[in-house]
Structure formats: C-alpha cells, structure tokens
C-alpha cells in the first residue's frame, strides 16, 4: 500500500486545519504570520460563522491583521488580553529539541 503523498502546501493547510479544531468558544487566539497561519485564520473565520463561536484574535503581522479583518475575526491586543488560549503559527524548521526557525523575519518584532 502506498500512502497518499501531499505537497508541502497541502501539508501546511492540513496542519493549520487540525490546529483550528482545538479552538473553543471564548478563546483568545494568537494569529501567526505566513502561509500556514493564513490557512488557520481563514478557517477560524469560517468556524465562527458556521458555529457562532465568539473568538478574539491577536495578529502578529499586518498581513495577519488584514486577513483576520477580512475573515471577520474581532481583533484585540496583548495589552487587553495578555494571556492567550492558543496561538497558531508555522515554522520553517524544527529540531529534535523543538527549537523553531521562522521565515524571513518580516514579522519577528511582533511575534
């Protein structure tokens, strides 16, 4: 039996969608940057509409902010909600100690 292979982009989307399943009503969610987080942000917006969830998002980049607004996710800040229930983000590399390397660094100051 040959398991179905998926592209890197499909794997990112699958990871994002699985992570979004962990979100519950009332959560404050960190919204990461990059393509994996973008899939998650879109799915969060879909779940909010479909399931009538009340969720607030804290974006780590301008791009995440704009996508959250487009997805109708209410925005808050770390000043207003310093404790997050979950954060969804991607990484380009991870080692055996779970150290992560992020992308090109465009959003690192906010992340």
Quick check: is 111 catalytic? yes
Per-residue H/E/C for the chain = CCCCCCCHHHHHHHHHHHHHCCCCCCCEEEECCCHHHHHHHHHHHHHHHHHCCCCEEEECCHHHHHHHHHCCCCECCCCCCCCCCEEECCCCEECCCCCEECCCCCCCCCC
The residue from 21, 42, 80, 111 that is catalytic is 111
Instruction: Catalogue the active-site residues.
Output: 111
């Amino acid at each position: 039996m040959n398991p179905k292979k998926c592209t890197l982009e499909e794997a990112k989307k699958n990871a994002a969608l699985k992570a979004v399943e962990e979100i519950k009503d009332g959560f404050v969610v960190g919204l990461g940057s990059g393509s994996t987080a973008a899939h998650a942000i879109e799915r969060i917006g879909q779940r909010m509409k479909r399931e009538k969830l009340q969720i607030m998002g804290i974006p780590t980049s301008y791009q995440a902010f704009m996508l959250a607004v487009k997805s109708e996710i209410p925005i808050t800040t770390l000043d207003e909600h310093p404790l997050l229930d979950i954060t969804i983000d991607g990484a380009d590399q991870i080692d055996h100690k779970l150290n992560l390397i992020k992308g090109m660094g465009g959003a690192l100051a906010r992340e």
